[in-house]
Structure formats: C-alpha cells, structure tokens
Structure 1
C-alpha cells in the first residue's frame, strides 16, 4: 500500500466514512461510476477507515449487507433514493467523520443533513448539463440543470470537489462556474494482462463494453457495422452490457439484416469479457458524454486500442494515435475504424505495447492514495 498512515477519526477509533452513490456495483444498470465508488471505498477500508456505502435498492436486494468489510445500506428507487438517503443521513448525522457525496447529475445534498463537523467531499464523474435533455422533457431537464449548477455550486462552494479527469475539472469551471478547490483522482485499472491478440485475417472483431443507454449511442455502432460489411464481409461487432436500449438495438440489428455481424452479449463475467476483448482488434465507443473511459483502460490493459469520438473524458483516456484513435464529433466512425485497422496491420505490436504501458499507469491503489491524502489534509486543516 502506497500510504503507510492509517485513517483515524477524532478519537482512537477508525475514521468513519460514508460513500453516498446512486447505485451499487451489483445493480443491473451499474457502470463505471459504481465501480469507482466501490473501489475507492475498498481502498479507504484498507487504510483503516470504517466505510458505509449508502445507495439505492433494486428489487430483491437486501436492505443491509456486509461485503469485503464494507456495510452497504440500500433504500429507494430512481427518484425516491434522494429524499430517503437524505432522511437517513439526517438520522445518522453524527455517525460520520467524512462523507463522499457522488454527484451523478444531481448530488445528495448531504451538507443539509450531516453535522457541521463532518467533512464532505463532492465527487463528480462528468458534468451532465445538456445530457439532462437526452433523458427528460424540457421542464425536468431544466430542473436537473438548476440542481447541478446554481444549487450545487452554492451548497458545496467551500468544500473540496473530486473530478475523475482533467476534462471534468475543466467542465466544472467552464460550464458550472465552479470556483472552489477541484482535485483530480482518476479511475484505476486492473493490472495489465496481455493475452494473445486477434489474428489479422481480414475479419476484424470490434467490441463495445458499456451500459445500453441513450447517450452511449450504440445505434451508431450498429449502423457503422452495416457500412463496414460492404468491404469487410467478415466484420463482427460485439456489444457487452445491459440496459434499456437492448430491445431497440435488437430490432435495429434485425431490420438491417446484421444478425451475423452484430451480437448483443448482455452481461458477461469479468473473465468472459476479458477473453472477448483480448481476442478483438478494437474496442469502440460512440458515447457523447463521459467523465473518463474506464472500459478504454480495461481494454488497453489487454493490449487492445480504442476508437472513440474526441469528447470529454475519452480524450483523456485515449492517447490519440498511440493507444487509440479519436474521431471528430460528427465524423463517420467507420472512416476512423478503417484508418485504425490499417495502422494496426502495420504496427500492431507497437500499439499493443503502448496500450499496456498506458494502462499500467492507472491503479486503484494510487487512486486510493490520492483520496487518502485529500481526506487527511482536509481533516488536518479543520
């Protein structure tokens, strides 16, 4: 462990930390934000903290559970989780030394409930802003932007904020007018696990890993595959993940006659996902809103480069021309894929080595060290 000093509270006991996140990693719609919150929780626990993971509850989940020494407390659904969690925090307002309030579009407004002595850190993966209009009507989207912008800015103005990437830090300043301290604590990644790569046999294999939701724009990847098959009849697109867009994507694949070229795998175990990724030529994303690109780094750890649009978060996770290729917004991803496959044919070993080296610079231990130092320094200043 990088940090020898252990986290302690005011007394002799361990530091009491509340990790407040809208979902846990075992829910059906969980993604990178949930993995981040859990990994940071585990890192803090390893450094001596007593961590409570406060989140929503899916049907069939236990209201309380102990995993890896972390207590999970679940309550509420899509909308009710916010008032229910706020009420729970109010009832336990003196139970925590530190709270990490994860703002996935809307924060939990924990400063309204917790004791004044509790140190609160706001965690932001990416700024939603216009993304609210992708999922909501004008009124609800406007409310969401108001809560994320002026309300959150005022409520958390004197508290430290954690962003997961330089892009998110810039977005906080430029689009939300954030003036308080912003610290970058990046995602970690699994240790590099290079495996035998895909064979360059003219039948490229492309994998997309992520939630099947609107802003990921997976329909663009399906359409792209239809265009690529004209010149690459063996092309295959593998989509790994689950979400609300599954039915629409299945219908699109069927309507375009792409059943032999696009496969919806749904949820896969880590080993099965890694095996599929390791045997692919490219990992791909058409997302328009990201705070980082956890699946990009996971693919890179297996020596697989990524093609994506040049948008916030993804431009941080990809080193253009070295560990992947960035397309301009509006550019046809099929053209970028063609360029990537051509470069892979010429310098595949070099690109694979660059990918694994890049992924090796991100570890959950180093991210835990950064969060540990931020908490320790903030407590010392109190």
Structure 2
C-alpha cells in the first residue's frame, strides 16, 4: 500500500477572522484530509473576528517562506490559498523543484488591477511576475470569470471549482412574504443596489417593497436607502439573514457591468439563499453564472435590463403556492448536492495528483 499524499496548505486567511476566504481555507483544508496528510500553515485572525495587521502579515510571510525553504521533509504538493501569496509557492519550488504548485483564486485577488491607479498597476505587474517565476502552477478559480481574469496575467493551467454554501435555517421555515424583495450585501456600485432601486423597483406593483440587509460602502449607493419602498435592515447575523432570505418573494442579486472591469468572483449570497429556501433572481454576470444554476437554484437575468428584471420578478410573484414549494424543494436539493465542501475538496484534490 502506497504512502498517503502529503500536502502543505498555506493561508493568510483563517478564523477567528470572518470572511469568505477564511471559510474556504478552513473548510477545504479540513476535508482534504480525506485525500492525504495535510499540514496547515495558517495566520489566525484576532479573537474579535478582525483580520491580521499588515505587520502580522509580513511576519507570517517571512516565517512561512523560511519554513518552506528549509523544510527537512518537503511535501510534494503545496497549496497556497490565495493569489496574493504566490511567492510562498516559489520558496517551496526552490526547496523542491518538482513540487506540485497550487494557487487559489477568489476574484478580488485577480480583479484588483481593474480598479486602476498606481496600486492596481503595480499589483497587476506583481501577478504577471508570479506567472513567470513559478513555472508550472495550477490555479484553482472559484468561477469561470475568475479563471478568465487569471489568464490575463499569464497563468495558463487554470481550472474552475465553484464554491460551497452549506447554509442552514434555524427553526421552521418562515411563511413567504409575497410583497417583499431582499437585497443582501455591501452597498457598492458593482452590486447594483442603486441601479435596481432607480430602474426596476418603479416597474413593480406598488405593494412590493425592497428590504436591504447590508452596510454602506459607497455613499452614492447608500443615498438610495432613502427611496420610497426601501427598508434598511442594517447588518443581520446569519440566522436572521437566512430567515429573511427564505421569507422573501425573491432574493435579488442585481450586479451590473462597470467600465473599469471589476467583477464579483463568485457571488456566495446567491448560493446561500438557494440553500436556505430563498428564490434567487441574479444577474447573468461574472461569478454569479457559477453561483446559480439557472432554472434550478435560481434565475439569471441580463444585467442592466430593467424590464427583464421586472418581468422575472412578476413571473415568480404569479406562482401558486404549490409551484413555489416545488421550486424551493428542488432548489434546496440541488444546492445541497452540488454546492457543498466535500465536492469542492474532491475537485481540488484531483489537481494534486494530476502529475504525480
């Protein structure tokens, strides 16, 4: 019987810090133990849930680089859990030239250059340098949009492994509130909140209102909270948010195209909403195309087409109770079957043994 595959998993994103990348790192590294011996090198967040400081990040990077460079028994696989940390894979290669190098790409870590400015240009150059120095490296992207962006910086071996959302309702499912839409997330131009309020909400019947669960990151977007038929709930904890998702007529995810090319890597809110019994209507945009199985876990609509959005919402509003219950049951089953961390780990592990 052959020895188990040894894997070194490196991440600067780890609980108790809170966020999608922290969840990804913890869930994937835990489930990869079914495929080999996993050594996790992680930088934990702070007890209050905040991320490490820049100094802590620099210290972690230096310490991890030395550990990989001078390892007595280097693993044949090194998985670095974000693109910004690519130099750590280079140190692993210097120690063991044959090491299988894996990078995770989440969206923001390859779309940041699109923001422009000196920082954006420098970061784009930094990513290109990684593609040149790392040699054969596999990038595991969370969506086709993220994969395409990684390719722009010279990464050629890129595979798509969509994320998971094992969200669960606490308590009984709430009764549907057929006059309430729900928007969840940060209020930024990319998310399309203000566009939806100004262009779609006026096309919907007067009783329909829009609830907003999220925080203001852009003042222009935040100004739309004062519009008629908009109710700001603020930031909700997960149990309360999932209850609102399940109760809403639709959970709307109206991302729009931006001229600078920014995009959302995956769109986890759409997958979470489907998992807890929400009816998702999302833009056919970037990572949302991988976060929603169109017609199965939600419905994709052309971004920026207000009339198409209004038609789709009115169609869902016209369902009978039986039609809605049937769709929700199927949506939750598909979400549980496909958008789970065991599938993510399995698809990830396939890349480890590709050239072994």
TM range (shorter): 0.7 to 0.9
1:278 aligns with 2:246: yes
Match in the other structure for 2:67: 92
1:215 aligns with 2:185: no
Structure 2: runs of 5+ lacking an equivalent = 257-262
Match in the other structure for 1:161: 139
Q: After the TM superposition, which residues 1-382 of structure 1 pair with which residues of structure 2 at under 5 Å, given as runs? A: 8=4, 15=6, 17-21=8-12, 23-27=13-17, 30=19, 32-45=20-33, 49-55=37-43, 57=45, 75-77=52-54, 80=55, 83-93=58-68, 94-95=70-71, 97=75, 98-103=77-82, 106-114=84-92, 115-117=94-96, 118-126=99-107, 131-134=112-115, 138-148=117-127, 150-173=128-151, 175-179=152-156, 181-190=157-166, 196=173, 198-199=175-176, 201=178, 203=179, 205-213=180-188, 215-223=190-198, 227=202, 231-240=205-214, 242=215, 245=217, 251-254=223-226, 256=227, 261-269=230-238, 271-288=239-256, 289-332=263-306, 335-346=308-319, 347-359=323-335, 360-378=337-355, 381=356
Where 1:232 maps in the other structure, the secondary structure is: coil
Structure with greater helix percent: 2
Give CA deviations for 1:270-312 in whole Å, capped at 9, x if unaligned.
x222222111121222335222232222211223232222212
Structure 2 CA distance, aligned partners of 1:54 and 1:6? 28
Query: Contact 2:245–2:278 at 8 Å: present in 1 too?
Result: yes
After superposition, the Cα gap between the structure-2 partners of 1:293 and 1:133, relative to the gap in structure 1 and judged at 3 Å, is: closer
Structure 2 CA distance, aligned partners of 1:7 and 1:370? 21
1:144 deviation in Å? 1.8
Structure 2 CA distance, aligned partners of 1:221 and 1:55? 39
Structure 2 CA distance, aligned partners of 1:217 and 1:264? 18
> What is the count of residue pairs matched by the alignment?
338
1:58 deviation in Å? 5.2
Query: Contact 1:344–1:351 at 8 Å: present in 2 too?
Result: no
Query: Contact 1:277–1:304 at 8 Å: present in 2 too?
Result: yes
TM-score normalised to structure 1 length: 0.73
Query: Contact 1:239–1:265 at 8 Å: present in 2 too?
Result: yes
TM-score normalised to structure 2 length: 0.78
